[in-house]
Amino acid sequence: MTNPPSIIKREGKRPSEQFERSKLHSSVRAACLSVRSPEGEAETIAKNVSEAVIAWLETKPEVTSADLRRKATAVLTSFHPEAAYLYKHHRLII
């Protein structure tokens, strides 16, 4: 990705930041590991989800963190629905 888009965080209440593939990768990987996926499978899924999200971001100069999470959840659901459930809901547990 030559020019990573800006991520608008919490509807602009926190400063925007550049998209980082590694952050997305590690959060998806952690969600997969949380549902006891094997490490290799978690890595593969995280890589596939990151690539799909990056392809979606190609034409966008900026997106909100909520949109990014929605897209990542949608892609993750096709690979691992249980991990996608935790990924989507982890902020709504408390």
Partner 1 sequence: MDIISSLAIVAFAALIHASFQLSVSVLTLMSGHAIGAKTAHTKLLRLTNGFLLGVLLMTMLLVAFICFVLQSSFGSHVPYVVWAVACGLLLGLGVAVWAFYYRKEKGTSLWLPRGLARYLGERAKATKQSGEAFGLGLSSVIAEFIFILAPMVVASLVLIQLEPMWQLLGIGLYTIISLLSLLVVNALIGSGHRLSGIQRWREDNKRFLQFASGSGLLILGFYVYVDQIVTATVTAHGGF
Site membership for partner 1, residue 93 (CB under 8 A):
yes
Please report how close the Cβ of residue 31 comes to partner 1 at its closest, in angstroms: 7
Q: Whole-angstrom Cα distance, residue 87 to residue 28?
A: 7
Within 8 A by CB and 6+ apart from 25, the residues are 46, 47, 49, 50
Q: Which is nearer to partner 1, 36 or 59 (CB)?
A: 36
Which residues from 37-66 bind partner 1, rule CB under 8 A?
39
Q: Which residues bind partner 1 (CB under 8 A)?
A: 29-31, 33-36, 39, 82-83, 85-86, 89-94
